[in-house]
Amino acid sequence: MMSARLNYLVCLFALTFAGCSLFGSQKEVVENHYTLEVKRVLDQPSPKARERVLEVSQFRISPRYQSQTLVYQKGDSWYHTEKNQAFMLPPQVLVTDQVTRYLGNSGLFGAIVEGESRLKVTHLLEGAITALYGDFTDPKGLQAVMEIQFFLLDPLATNPPKIVFQTGFRIEAEIPSSTPQALIQGWNKGLETILQNFENDLRRLFKESSLE
């Protein structure tokens, strides 16, 4: 009897500190590693757009969200999922990759590079992920929250850097449940909306600058 009670307490202790209670319990451990993915139809750049070469720097991320485990909030408390429910790569790497792919299909640039290149870079893009979490405070209003700041720079002006354009977007996408899968789907939807808005802003910028 004492042994059974001890086993129960050990199990209760493990569940209490697992940091994944909102995602439900499982009888067996299932490894799930997630990625972010946004699709965009390929548009061919105009002759003027072909002259633009964009260099994308690795996006920064707020320390609270830099772990590969998923972050969620309930009330005033913050939690992480267990390591078996996590991003495949650091979230800032995934977001940078999707931004690069999306803009590469937008037709706004003749080429997009990451890191050093022999191409003459005309624009430099930096970004900061300032929110990436699930808000489970209200069970009737679960949300996948994502916020990204964008900085388009003149690569020739380095001291001090010259910001050509700056903007940011915050998306609070409603999700049907507090599962990791629903959270990832909400972030994908939010990232798609953010990139659509950013693309529209860049089109207006280039048009107003008489670059189209």
Tens digits of residue pLDDT in 159-180: 888 999 999 999 999 999 999 9
Tokens of 44: 């061919």
36: β partners: none
Residue 210 has pLDDT above 90, yes or no: no
Residue 100, amino acid: T
Tens digits of residue pLDDT in 38-50: 999 999 999 999 9
Sequence-separated (6 or more) residues with CB below 8 Å from residue 129: 59, 60, 61, 62, 65, 91, 92, 95, 146, 147, 148
Predicted TM-score (pTM) of the model is: 0.84
Domains annotated on the chain, with CATH: 32-208 (3.40.50.10610)
Confidence of residue 10 (pLDDT cuts 50, 70, 90): very low
Give CA separation, 206 vs 50, 101, 113, 127, in Å. Answer: 13, 20, 19, 19
Tens digits of residue pLDDT in 125-140: 999 999 999 999 999 9
Residue 147, amino acid: E
Supply the pLDDT for residue 28.
52
Three-class DSSP labels, 1-25: CHHHHHHHHHHHHHHHCCCCHHHCC
Q: How far apart are the first and last CA of the chain?
A: 79
